[in-house]
Structure 1
Amino acid sequence: MVRFSNNLVGILNFITLLLSLPILIGGVWLSRQGTSECERFLDKPVIALGVFLLIVSLAGLIGACCRVSWLLWVYLLVMFLLILLLFCFTIFAFAVTNKGAGEAISNRGYKEYRLGDYSGWLQKRVNSQKNWNKIKSCLQDSKVCKSLIDDGSNTPADEFYNSHLSAIQSGCCKPSDGCGFNYVTPTNWTNTNTTSANPDCNAWSNDQKTLCFNCQSCKAGLLDNIKSDWKKVAVLNVIFLVFLIIVYSIGCCAFRNNREDNSWKRYP
């Protein structure tokens, strides 16, 4: 009679096996259909995740249902390493997202963002010219600033100043308020030859492909976005960790069942 723990491990891994197939297909589709580097950015990680889930779920499924103890042992080892890796990443994610927040500006609906407010590790990632060129290309391809003028370029200044911009829009699509530029349209400002020490003032351009994508505030806006997303991921990781630990415990029971059954067959 097949034991409950073996059945449960088999069912869970069969579900994981089914989930791995669309992930793998999606990764292959991205690699073939992506027309830009930005669109193809995730294809290899997605394919790797799909292959990993496929192999691990097969090992768990065969090991539990066919009573192949060595496969189940490999499955448990990988699960243990995954739990350890996920635990370390969760702690790291909480640590690097602990610093940084937008600064509220008087009579403005949006906030402004400064790169120095965020963790040093995150700053190093975006200060790398190689990394930032790729990120900037993705931001430009996404037309994140185009939405500001989709309804026309005649947005009154007061209405714009009271609008609630996203962190990336505030950092990348307009100059810093400290520059004192004169508003024309959401993405068009007149340079007043400010004496501000803020380097972003000189980095601003009315060229729609440039805007403030070379500004420190743009990097800070991206980091604020990453910080928010990573915090959500870290919370989900905690829930996933609990689930993995439960599955790992059930797998250990199935492994023990396999060993007991093999011993019983050897010594009738």
Structure 2
Amino acid sequence: MRFLQWPLIIIGVCIMLVSLAGFVGACYRSTFLLRLYLFAMFFIIVALVGFIVFAFVVTAKGSGRSELNRAYRDYYLVDYSGWLEERVSGRYWRKISSCIRDSKVCKNMARGVGGVSESSDLFFLRTLKPIESGCCKPPTECGFAYVNETAWDTRAGYAGGNLDCTRWSNIQEQLCYGCDSCKAGVLASIRKSWRKVSMINIVVVAILVIVYLVGCVAFRNNKRIKNDEPYGENKMTKSHPSRFQF
């Protein structure tokens, strides 16, 4: 999210400064400022378009997989692009997993009444958020038996080829925070946020293009007025000669 934040802040500040220059240039008929405005705005629009394309390419892959008799989805790291996968590895993931653990998102999943957890049938009908599905429970393919929202009987399942089945722990401080499914759940949330921001950026680009075209018209009119001024002055001098000519 920090990677997404700073480019947008920089582009926003540039738009503000360039727009101010264009406004001053239009008010005072400054060809230099209008030319600077059009030149800079062109590169800002190109930068925004490039950012939108990058965001859509990076988030093109990746979505939860439907499971039989489950309302929620399971998430797999291999479904996402390599660039995003690098964002949740090594030191990055240590910070992210610590943040998820401190947020108590898994603890807040409990819906039991009087200390009794909801039944497995009700739990399987829940639509879990990506982080809840990836970090707070084991993957469905492990086949573990449901005990409560964050506890599963591992004796009923198998490890299989999914390493997350061996990474799962009923210890509440561990759960599946070290699983690839947890990383995939985080990426699913980021993907959704990036898609929303990209749609907003598309609207912003459309508005900037319209404003850019208006600036082109203002620049052309300013040049035309400046080119016509000497001609207009000479014409007025010839039409109304001075009375004090000798």
TM-score by length of 1: 0.72
Corresponding residue number in structure 1 for 2:241: none
Counting only pairs closer than 5 Å after superposition, residues 217-236 of structure 1 correspond to structure 2 as 217-236=181-200
Q: Does 1:102 align with 2:64?
A: yes
Q: Does 1:70 align with 2:32?
A: yes
Corresponding residue number in structure 2 for 1:133: 94
- Using the TM superposition, give the Cα deviation of residue 251 of structure 1 relative to its aligned residue in structure 2, in angstroms: 0.8
Corresponding residue number in structure 2 for 1:118: 80
Corresponding residue number in structure 1 for 2:48: 86
| Aligned counterpart in structure 2 of residue 255 of structure 1, from 197, 219, 224 | 219
Q: Does 1:180 align with 2:148?
A: no
Change (3 A) 1:132 1:261: farther
- Using the TM superposition, give the Cα deviation of residue 217 of structure 1 relative to its aligned residue in structure 2, in angstroms: 0.6
Q: Distance in 1 between matches of 2:166 and 2:152?
A: 13
Query: C-alpha root-mean-square deviation of aligned residues, in Å?
Result: 3.0
Q: Distance in 1 between matches of 2:21 and 2:71?
A: 54
Q: State how many pairs are aligned.
A: 229
Q: Secondary structure at the match of 2:147?
A: strand
- 1:121-141 CA-to-partner distances (Å, cap 9, x unmatched) read 222332x31322333344334
- 1:155-214 CA-to-partner distances (Å, cap 9, x unmatched) read 222211221111221111111122233323212234328433321123223343432222
Corresponding residue number in structure 2 for 1:212: 176
- Using the TM superposition, give the Cα deviation of residue 85 of structure 1 relative to its aligned residue in structure 2, in angstroms: 1.6
Q: Secondary structure at the match of 1:100?
A: coil
| Aligned counterpart in structure 2 of residue 164 of structure 1, from 127, 142, 153 | 127
Q: Distance in 2 between matches of 1:137 and 1:57?
A: 42
Q: Is the 8 A contact 2:159 2:165 kept in 1?
A: no
Percent of aligned positions with the same letter in both sequences?
47
TM-score by length of 2: 0.77
- Using the TM superposition, give the Cα deviation of residue 225 of structure 1 relative to its aligned residue in structure 2, in angstroms: 2.5
Q: Which has the larger radius of gyration?
A: 2
Change (3 A) 1:97 1:44: closer
- 1:32-80 CA-to-partner distances (Å, cap 9, x unmatched) read xxxxxx9x99886676456434423322222222323322222222211
Change (3 A) 1:101 1:180: same
